[in-house]
Structure formats: C-alpha cells, structure tokens
C-alpha cells in the first residue's frame, strides 16, 4: 500500500499545482482541492485538472461579481411611480447609508470609480440613490 502512495506522490511531483508563495489564500485552497482530488481519480493529473476546470466553468456564474443581475431589477422601474424615502434605521446604525447606483456607475477623470453614499433609496427598486439628479435619472433611462 505504501508503494502506491509513493508512486502517486512521484507522479504528482511533475505537475505541481501548489505554489509556495501564493498571495491569495483562496487560490491556494482551490489548487490544493484539485491536487487532493487527483489522488482519488483514475485518470492522470493533467486530464483530471482539465475536467475539473471545464466542469467549474460550465456550472459557474456568468455575471460579474458585485453587479446586480437583470433578473433582480424592478420590471416597472421606467413606468411605475416611485418616490424616494429615507433608509430606515436598524439595530447597528441610527442613520444608515447605501451606495448610489447611478453615481457608482460613473468614473472620475483619472479613471477611478465614483464612490458616493446616500441616505435615500427607492423602496420599490431596493437601490440606494441620491435624491437629485440620480433618482430621476435612474427611473427614466433604460441602462442602469
């Protein structure tokens, strides 16, 4: 039994997935997962790694992280009547804020994103918005 493990380790030595100086811990954890799952696989390590990557690509999300999906958008955003309201207080914050969706979609002249928080939101759309001019802009233009 020991000879099989040694042979397995010897074959894996040629396809080192784990790097010693990995900055992002989640990448190292993923590579360790792939390498450990190779030990139970009957195929060679390269074929197994390719199969895992293809499977993850097909099951993974196609949208960018941090962006609202089109399905979550309010269908009557452009046609219904919406009114801005103060964001209600919660247990941790007496005056909570949210990021303005319109302001955050803009960029400064130096290329950085605009980061602007607002104490107002649209309860129907459930997005943070500045009262002037972002609220009107968000509810009249189709691309937001």
Torsions phi, psi of 127, nearest 5? -135, 145
Q: Are residues 78 and 55 in the same domain?
A: no
Tell me whether residue 69 is in a domain: no
pTM over 0.85? The answer is no
Q: What is the pLDDT of residue 88?
A: 92
Tell me whether residue 66 is in a domain: no
Q: Which residue has the tokens 């302001």?
A: 103
Tell me whether residue 23 is in a domain: yes
Classify strands 98-99 and 117-118 as parallel, antiparallel or unpaired.
antiparallel
Structural domains in the chain (count): 2
Tell me whether residue 30 is in a domain: yes
- pLDDT values of the chain reduced to their tens digit, one per residue, 144 residues: 455 566 666 665 555 555 556 667 677 777 777 666 666 656 666 777 777 777 776 765 544 444 555 445 667 788 888 999 999 998 999 999 999 999 988 888 998 888 899 999 999 888 999 998 899 999 988 887
Are the C-beta atoms of 45 and 11 separated by less than 8 Å? yes
């Amino acid at each position: 039994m020991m000879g099989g493990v040694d042979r397995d380790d010897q074959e894996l030595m040629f396809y080192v997935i784990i790097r010693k100086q990995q900055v992002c811990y989640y990448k190292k954890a993923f590579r360790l997962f792939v390498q450990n799952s190779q030990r139970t696989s009957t195929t060679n390590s390269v074929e197994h790694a390719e199969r895992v990557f293809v499977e993850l690509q097909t099951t993974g999300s196609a949208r960018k992280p941090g962006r609202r999906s089109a399905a979550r958008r309010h269908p009557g955003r452009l046609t219904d009547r919406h009114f801005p309201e103060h964001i209600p207080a919660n247990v941790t914050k007496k005056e909570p804020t949210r990021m303005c969706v319109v302001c955050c979609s803009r960029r400064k002249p130096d290329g950085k994103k605009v980061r602007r928080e607002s104490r107002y939101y649209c309860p129907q759309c459930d997005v943070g918005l500045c009262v002037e001019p972002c609220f009107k802009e968000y509810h009249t233009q189709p691309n937001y």
